[in-house]
C-alpha cells in the first residue's frame, strides 16, 4: 500500500515552492496542505488538482500498485 501524502510531499519539496504558494494554488490554508502530506489516501478530484499543480502524475503510483492477474 502506498502513502500518497508522503509521495506528494517529496514531489512538492523537489519543486522548491513554499507551502503558502501550494495552499494558494489549492484554494485552502496551510494547515490543509500539511494534512494532505499526512494522508495515506486521497480523493481523486483533489489528486487531479495536485497532479496539475505539481505537473506530476500521482495516479501512476496506484496503477503500479495494482496486481495484474491476467484474468481481466
- Is pLDDT of 16 > 90? yes
Evaluate whether 19 touches 53 at the Cβ level (below 8 Å).
Answer: no
Say what the pLDDT of residue 65 is.
72
C-alpha to C-alpha distance for 45 and 2, rounded to whole angstroms: 18
* Residue 67 pLDDT level (bands cut at 50, 70, 90): low
The pTM score is 0.87
| Full set of structural domains in the chain with CATH | 4-64 (1.10.260.40)
61 Cβ neighbours under 8 A, 6+ residues apart: 2, 4, 7
Amino acid at each position: 500500500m502506498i502513502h500518497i501524502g508522503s509521495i506528494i510531499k517529496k514531489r512538492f519539496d523537489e519543486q522548491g515552492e513554499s507551502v503558502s504558494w501550494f495552499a494558494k494554488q489549492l484554494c485552502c490554508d496551510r494547515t490543509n496542505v500539511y494534512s494532505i502530506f499526512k494522508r495515506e489516501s486521497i480523493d481523486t478530484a483533489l489528486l487531479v488538482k495536485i497532479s496539475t499543480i505539481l505537473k506530476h502524475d500521482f495516479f501512476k503510483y496506484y496503477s503500479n500498485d495494482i496486481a495484474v492477474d491476467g484474468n481481466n
